[in-house]
Amino acid sequence: PKYGKGKFKRHTIKRNKDFSHIRWTLDTADDLKIIRELTSKLPKNYSWMEALSVATKNTKLLGTKVTKRK
């Protein structure tokens, strides 16, 4: 593996709803800008569900982070 075996833990969280159409990554400066804008709209100690709610209500915020599934 790229980062060394056993250095990172991986977990799968099962949900009733599929969120795989949203990319939650920090790979570029634009990604960081989006994350900063999103977190500025959230309360302190927010949950990922609150972040998801704000992000999906502000479709311009996510832009290319939402992908169409084939």
Q: What local confidence, expressed as pLDDT, does residue 35 receive?
A: 87
Burial of residue 55, with CB atoms counted within 10 A of its CB: 0-12 exposed, 13-18 middle, 19 or more buried: buried
Rounded Cα distance between 57 and 52, Å, is 8
Q: How high is the pLDDT of residue 62? A: 72
pTM of the model: 0.61
Split the chain (70 residues) into runs of 10 and give each run's mean pLDDT. 68 80 81 89 91 83 59
Q: How many angstroms separate the CA atoms of 48 and 69, rounded? A: 22
